[in-house]
Amino acid sequence: MARRPHNAPPQRDTGPRVNERITSKEIRLIGADGENVGVVTPARAMDMADEAGLDLVEISPNANPPVCKIMDFGKFKYEQQKRESEARKKQKTIEVKEVKFRPNTDTHDYDVKMRNVFKFLENGDKVKISLRFRGREMAHLNLGRELLERVAEDVKDHGKVESMPRMEGRQMIMMIGQLPK
């Protein structure tokens, strides 16, 4: 076994306790084929596990007495990792996509950008609509607000406005999320 460098952090013992690490005076034992053996000492349970050529694994440490099972620990860890990776695959992360407008965005450009907004909403993402003002356009904030209200009106069948238009510096920002199912 390789030596750990002396400045390495102590190894964390994660996961269930196995074999000699089980410290309780008594444990409730479940046999290799799932039958309930009853309350025994860890030494007796270790002997039974050795006879079967398997490990003694603490399944429920908070029970009184703790529940242990005779099983193949390597296989147990492998199946646990498989379950965790399946759970990760099924998890959907919601991304925030941004679509940028200008106060004088033309009709065709507006239509193209709105198609993107609809596509993002269908994919389950949130959409951040940002409207950037440059120079003297700051004097015409009402044009920007009208544009964002038009976006909100066009999008009402596909998503819902989560935050109404608000100014952040030289940008007016609005968030749109999916319609609740």
CATH-assigned architecture of domain 19-87 = Roll (3.10)
Q: What is the predicted pLDDT for the residue at 109?
A: 93
Cα distances (Å, whole numbers) of residue 64 to 26, 56, 68 = 9, 17, 11
Q: How many CB atoms lie within 10 A of CB 137?
A: 16
Average pLDDT over all residues of the chain: 86
| Strands 159-168 and 126-132, bridge-based pairing | unpaired
Residue 13, pLDDT score: 62
- Range 34-61 average pLDDT: 87
Q: How far apart are CA 144 and CA 131, in angstroms?
A: 7
Rounded to whole angstroms, the Cα distance separating 124 from 111 reads 20
**159 exposed, middle or buried (CB, 10 Å; 0-12, 13-18, 19+)?**
buried
pLDDT for position 159: 87
Q: Where are the domains of the chain?
A: 19-87, 96-178
List 39's β-bridge partners, or say none. 28
pLDDT of residue 52: 86
The pLDDT assigned to 139 comes to 87
Please give the share of the chain, as a percent, with pLDDT higher than 90: 13
- Answer yes or no: CATH 3.40.50.450 is held by domain 96-178: no
The reply to whether 96-178 shares the fold of 19-87 is no
pLDDT digits (tens, 9 = 90+) for 5-42: 777 777 666 667 888 788 888 889 888 888 888 888 88
Range 24-35 burial, b when 16+ CB lie within 10 A, else e? eeebbbbbbeee
Could you read off the pLDDT of 124-174 as tens digits, one per residue? Answer: 889 999 999 898 888 888 888 888 888 889 988 888 888 888 888 889 999
